[in-house]
């Protein structure tokens, strides 16, 4: 197994002193190059956890380490944020500049990248998310999916090792969601960027390496998506929605149809039905 890039060690967090814990004793280890998903209903603490990793919040108890640096070490804050970038939920509220190219430059300017280096890095980042043709457009004229891809390019230009996506598809239409998902998967596969994908959409988590379910501030389930989602009964208490095929398989099994375990996708279901019916 590869070395861990993000480690949360018994992390708890409360927004106010003596307030309720938003994150409760969470331990997590994410290997370099992997694709992890965190699922949970609203208010389950998943977004808070994301912000703890990036050093936007500091743990009340426990430690978060990113690339071996503790987020509580003041001197390392900017280095941590550069190495573990973050893309947020609302596409409108994270772009700063009036022109796409300049927005991608924003992070580079902040970390003091020499001017001569910038254009090449910006173009490459925009190309990697398929937005190079839009480099000179105004962000407010782009679609939601396009804006999110610009936001990703802004992080990408800073050459991060990991990117945390905090419900980055929640406000997009299906097409925008597909665009963003494809871009992210490609970055993970081709460039080996570690991805932490926070969502409440089950279908987006189906293809990740490891999934974690959060409920009331705690990680209550961890495992491969197949282990977690194919067992409808296990996830229902956490107010999550099982993938439609897993749900259907469950009902068919209840009626005596001997379907194999672990069905998540339409293809898997079709194969299994065909096997039994032919």
Partner 1 sequence: MALNNITLGQYYPADSVVHRMDPRVKILLLVAIIVAVFLAGNLLAFAPIILFLVIVTKLSKVPVRMMVKGLKPLRLILILTFILNLFFLQGETVLLDLGFAQIKRESLILAVHYSLRLILLVLFSSLLTLTTPPITLTDGLERLLSPLRVIHFPAHEMAMMMSIALRFIPTLMEEADKIMKAQTARGADFESGNLIARAKAMVPLLVPLFVSAFRRAGDLAMAMEARCYHGGEGRTRLRVLKCERRDYIACAVVALLIAAVVLTGKLY
Partner 2 sequence: MQVTLEQVTHTYQEGSPFQAVAIRDVSLTIREGEFLALIGHTGCGKSTLAQHINGLLKPTSGRVLLDGQDIHQKGFDKREVRRKVGLVFQYPEHQLFEETVAKDVGFGPKNLGLSDAEIKERVAEALRKVGLDEPGFTEKSPFELSGGQMRRVAMAGVLAMRPQILVLDEPAAGLDPQSREDMLQLISGLHQQGSTVVMISHSMDDVARFATRAVVMEHGTIAMEGTPQEIFRQAERLEQMGLDVPSVCKLGMKLREMGLNCPEDIFREEQALPALLALWKEGKCHGA
Maximal CA-CA distance, the chain: 67
Instruction: Determine, following the binding rule CB under 8 A, whether residue 140 of this chain makes contact with partner 1.
Output: yes
Tell me the three-class secondary structure of the chain, residue by residue.
CCCEEEEEEEEEEECCCCCCEEEEEEEEEEECCCEEEEECCCCCCHHHHHHHHCCCCCCCEEEEEECCEECCCHHHHHHHHHHEEEECCCHHHCCCCCCHHHHHHHHHHHCCCCHHHHHHHHHHHHHHCCCHHHCCCCHHHCCHHHHHHHHHHHHHCCCCCEEEEECCCCCCCHHHHHHHHHHHHHHHHHHCCEEEEEECCHHHHCCCCEEEEEECCEEEEEECHHHHHCCHHHHHHHCCCCCHHHHHHHHHHHCCCCCCCCCCCHHHHHHHHHHHHC
- Please, which residue, 34 or 199, has the CB nearer to partner 2? 199
Residue 119 binds which entry of partner 2, partner 1, none, CB below 5-8 Å type-dependent: partner 1
If one counts every other C-beta atom within 10 angstroms of the C-beta of residue 241, the result is: 17
Which one of the spans 40-48, 124-132, 158-166, 204-212 is the region binding partner 2 (CB under 8 A)?
A: 40-48
Our CB check for partner 1 shows the closer of 108 and 246 to be 108
Residues 125-144 that bind partner 2 (CB under 8 A): 143-144
Q: Which residues pair with 112 in a beta bridge?
A: none
Judged by CB, which is closer to partner 1: 86, or 206?
Answer: 86
Residue closer to partner 1 by CB (options 115, 255) is: 115
Q: 255 Cβ partners below 8 Å, 6+ apart?
A: none
Specify the stretch interacting with partner 1 by CB under 8 A; choose among 59-67, 139-147, 195-203, 225-233.
139-147
Site string for partner 2, 194-223 (x = CB under 8 A): ------x-x---------------------
The entry of partner 2, partner 1, none that residue 233 binds, CB within 5 to 8 Å by partner kind: none
Task: Between 103 and 167, name the residue whose CB sits nearer to partner 2.
Answer: 167
Q: Which does 200 bind (CB under 5 to 8 A by kind): partner 2, partner 1, none?
A: partner 2
Binding to partner 2 (CB under 8 A) within 147-186 occurs at 170-171, 173-176
The residue from 33, 40, 59, 85 that contacts partner 1 (CB under 8 A) is 85
d(CA 138, CA 6): 35
The entry of partner 2, partner 1, none near residue 43 (CB within 5 to 8 angstroms by kind) is: partner 2
Per CB under 8 A, does 276 bind partner 2?
Answer: yes
The torsion angle over the Cα atoms of residues 144, 146, 152 and 157, rounded to 10 degrees, is -150
For partner 1, the binding residues (CB under 8 A) are: 51, 54, 56, 78, 81-82, 85-86, 88, 90, 92-99, 101-102, 105-115, 118-119, 122, 138-141, 151, 154-155, 158
For partner 2, the binding residues (CB under 8 A) are: 41-43, 143-144, 170-171, 173-176, 200, 202, 239-241, 244-245, 247-248, 251-252, 255, 257, 266-267, 269-270, 273-274, 276-278
């Amino acid at each position: 197994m590869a070395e861990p890039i993000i480690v949360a060690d018994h992390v708890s967090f409360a927004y106010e002193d003596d307030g309720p814990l938003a994150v409760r004793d969470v331990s997590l280890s994410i290997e370099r190059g992997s694709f992890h998903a965190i699922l949970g209903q609203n208010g389950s603490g998943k977004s808070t956890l994301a912000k703890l990793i990036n050093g936007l919040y500091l743990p009340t108890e426990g430690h978060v380490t990113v690339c071996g640096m503790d987020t509580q070490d003041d001197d390392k804050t900017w280095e941590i944020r550069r190495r573990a970038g973050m893309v947020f939920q609302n596409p409108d509220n994270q772009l700063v500049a009036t022109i796409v190219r300049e927005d991608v430059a924003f992070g580079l300017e902040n970390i003091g990248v020499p001017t001569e280096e910038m254009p090449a890095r910006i173009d490459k980042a925009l190309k990697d998310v398929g937005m190079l043709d839009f480099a000179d457009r105004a962000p407010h004229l782009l679609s939601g999916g396009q804006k999110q891809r610009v936001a990703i390019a802004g992080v990408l230009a800073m050459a991060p090792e990991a990117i945390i996506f905090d419900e980055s598809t929640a406000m997009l239409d299906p097409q925008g969601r597909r665009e963003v998902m494809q871009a992210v998967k490609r970055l993970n596969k081709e460039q080996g960027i570690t991805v932490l994908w926070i969502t409440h959409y089950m279908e987006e988590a189906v293809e990740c390496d490891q999934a974690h379910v959060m409920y009331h501030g705690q990680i209550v389930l961890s495992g491969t998506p197949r282990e977690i989602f194919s067992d409808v009964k296990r996830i229902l208490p956490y107010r999550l929605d099982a993938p439609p095929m897993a749900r259907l398989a469950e009902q068919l099994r209840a009626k005596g149809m001997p379907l194999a375990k672990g069905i998540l996708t339409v293809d898997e279901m079709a194969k299994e039905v065909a096997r039994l019916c032919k």
